[in-house]
Structure 1
Amino acid sequence: MGAAAVLWTGGTAHANGPADNTTPPPASGNADSNGDLSAAVSRIKVTQVSGPTGGKTGSISSTDVNWEPPPCWYEPVYTPEQLKAFSEGNNPLGYVSPHEMWGGQKLWTDHYRDSKVAYNYEDNALVSRGGYDNYNIGKKGYFWRGVARDPSDPDSFGCERVMFWQNAGEIPDVPNAPTPKTLAEYAYDKVKVPGTEIELKPATKSTVNAPTWVWLDKGTFREIKVRAELPNTGLWAETTAKPVALHLNPGTEYAQAIPASGNCEINEDGSIGTPYQRGDSDRTPPCGIRYLKATDGTPYRLSASVTWQITWQGANGTGGDLPDGTFETTQDMNVQEIQSINR
């Protein structure tokens, strides 16, 4: 074979022209994740600015089932000097879009050094892109490339433009160019919240018709702020998750949540409900459950989910709201058929 191969996850093609140097986009693809310059992975820097650290944590789920973080966007990847060093290295193999790899020097030097046209499928159409003279060395800027959050997502094929040049200090005027909101939504996916380990009284076994008190001490749940920055762009965003409510699901139809909605509001001091005190056995808790039927050897699965209100602010005075998120944990509840309370 006289020319190096263009490597697709769904096929192999060659480098002599539009008829034989491309293949249609594959149904899915797998991007490298080794983090080097040749891998189609994001360079967004994520930092937790505030909130609890350590202990058991998990990712929130959007309450809007139709909402997802952006499937793809573009990022600056190479300076001219970096691209020259990579392209003229030993058998360079790397991504020029989220789903297409070029292997061997010739493809890289043809397009980025010797000004030859490159071809790729964009929006299911074969598109040609003009080449560059000597990697644009001497100019200030970066070569930008598409990045996919999940390469197997069909929507991730919206950033297939072959890696292209953008002057320093400029954001490309292309579909799916990054914005502060892009980074805010990316950070949403990185928010880690603490597990919902609620306090119960009685702690080990509830009693039929007697209320089980549920509470969370103040400070257990605090705002969590995550910052996402895209290097060499001036773009940043901070996504804040604020706990606003605890929802209880008793795990059986033979129970009553307190309040009836199952939603226990978070108090101003960050606590939820009220801790049980000696002598409270005849009172109704502000947050709790009343089981109406004993378990028969198989415990009920009590679930507790915290709703997190999500907001963001970013570069250039931008900001807004994102869909609320939830995080749920479950625990076993045994219920006995006696008319006394374990104080």
Structure 2
Amino acid sequence: MAYHEDHGRSNKGLLIRGARVTGALAVLLALAPAGLAYADGGAHGCSDVDVCVDVGTPGNPGHSGSGGTGGGGGKGGKGDGMCKLVDDTEIPCLPGYNPKDRCFYELMDPQPPHGPGYTDMNGADTTGPGAFYQKDCIVNDVGGTVWLTTPPATVLPDPAELARQARDKMTLLGARIGSTPGPNKPGLVGMPVWLWNNKSQTTWGPNTATAAVPGLSVTATARVTKITYSMGDGGSVTCNTAGTPYKKSYGGKPSPDCGYRYTKVSTNQSGGKFTVTATSTWEITWQASTGENGTLPDEIRTSNTTARVGELQVVN
């Protein structure tokens, strides 16, 4: 039994999906009559064939990132994920390119049925170790599902891009705010207010996720580094910890790590309460299977609660 879905190059082909790939393909098609190139000698350091991969050895391209806390390398020059055509035009190297056969490969997810009785587009037996890949080639119309017992030696994507994909798998939320007095209980001007985040993987971290392609995996880890509480009266407090949950045994003591004192009442506010906004800053670091690492821009999340504040009335 053969698995024959999408043997031709369709609108879902690897060369014509997404804005970045479409733009690169337009350049490739425009230059096709003159020939494209990949790095193995010849004019401009390339032979007169297809895509010039100017980023290192096939299957293990270089990156300009230092491996510290940067974003994993920039764009625009040698060693940073750019491919040069024969006229010196540079385009981003598309993930999955195999210079040996000038085709693109993508591991299929989910995998089609395989095993005894199933074959790929070329009639290959799918019994035993291996996986189905979607194949699409620049130089001809060969495309479809192929069974490979080992992953193809392809140009790897920028690990920072995989880190972003891993980040997008995470659920990162604002703080689940705890406070004393609580939102439905009255507090007093000058009395200690305790603030804390009811910690979880999605409200404090660490939160981890992994994105991978054949030959490269990247794990991203997100943690909250600070929470700034805007208290609704014009004041704020920034806490570098999740805060300490209040217990009755603490009495009237101030919070040791995340507290506030109101200096005005909330009676003139909507509903007679201050709106308290917690702004959480998520720091995201990533580690690649190649040893590279870096950080992504911080993610910001907010959440809200309320505080009712009055004055102590003295009766003579």
Output the TM-score relative to the length of structure 1.
0.48
The alpha carbon displacement at 1:264 in A equals 0.9
1:317 is aligned to: 291
What does residue 192 of structure 2 align with?
Answer: 211
**Residue in structure 1 matching 2:268, options 293, 296, 300:** 296
Residue in 2 aligned with 1:40? none
Quote the residue 1:106 is aligned against.
Answer: none
Correspondent of 1:180 among 144, 152, 159? 159
Determine the C-alpha separation between the residues in 1 that align with 2:287 and 2:217. Answer: 9
Shift of 1:202: 0.8
Instruction: Measure how far apart 1:188 and its partner are.
Output: 1.4
* Structure with greater strand share of residues: 1
> Is the aligned partner of 1:331 residue 2:305?
yes
Q: Contact 2:208–2:221 (CA<8 Å) still a contact in 1? A: yes
Which residue is equivalent to 1:43?
A: none
Q: Does 1:94 align with 2:43?
A: no
Between the two proteins, the alignment pairs up a number of residues equal to 204
Greater alpha carbon shift after TM alignment, 217-226 vs 292-301: 217-226
Q: Decide whether aligned partners of structure 1 residues 94 and 124 sit closer, same or farther in structure 2, where only a CA change above 3 A counts.
A: closer
Question: Given the superposition, is the C-alpha separation of residues 142 and 334 from structure 1 closer, same or farther in structure 2, using an over 3 Å criterion?
Answer: same
1:196 equivalenced with 2:175 (yes/no)? yes
In 1, the alpha carbon distance for the partners of 2:142 and 2:30 equals 15
Distance 1:237 1:201 in 2: 41
CA distance in 1, matches of 2:304, 2:187: 16
Q: Indicate how the Cα distance of structure 1 residues 248 and 228 shifts in structure 2: closer, same or farther if over 3 A, else same.
A: same
1:17-45 CA distance string (max 9 Å, x none): xxxxxxxxxxxxxxxxxxxxxxxxxxxxx
Equivalents in 2 of 1:306, 1:94: separation in Å? 41
Correspondence for 2:26? 122
Cα pair distance change 1:283/1:243, threshold 3 Å: closer
Aligned to 1:265: 240
Aligned pairs for 1:1-343 (under 5 A) are 85-87=5-7, 94-96=11-13, 97-98=16-17, 122=26, 126-128=30-32, 137=122, 143=134, 168-172=151-155, 178-203=157-182, 204=184, 205-216=186-197, 221-230=204-213, 233-253=214-234, 256-257=235-236, 262-266=237-241, 271-273=242-244, 275-278=246-249, 280-281=251-252, 283=254, 286-291=257-262, 292-296=264-268, 298=270, 299-338=273-312
Identity %: 22
Cα separation, partners in 2 of 1:170 and 1:199, compared to 1, 3 Å: same
> Which consecutive residues of structure 2, in runs of 5 or more, have no partner in the other structure?
34-49, 51-101, 104-119, 125-129
1:192 match: secondary structure: coil
Contact 1:226 1:240 in 2 (8 A): yes
Deviations 1:270-325 (A, max 9, x none): x5235254464264653123222323251322111222221111222222222222
Whether the 8 Å CA contact 1:210–1:339 is kept in 2: the answer is no
Where relative contact order (Cα < 8 A, 6+ residues apart) is larger, the structure is: 1
User: What is the DSSP-based 3-state SS (H/G/I as helix, E as strand, rest coil) of the residue aligned with 2:175?
Assistant: coil
Contact 1:179 1:235 in 2 (8 A): no
In structure 1, the gaps of 5 or more residues are: 1-80, 101-119, 146-161
Distance 1:332 1:197 in 2: 13
Q: Secondary structure at the match of 2:157?
A: coil
Deviation, structure 1 residue 248: 0.8
1:238 Cα deviation after fit: 0.7
Query: TM-score when scaled to structure 2?
Result: 0.51
* Distance change >3 Å, CA 308–CA 163, structure 1 → 2: farther
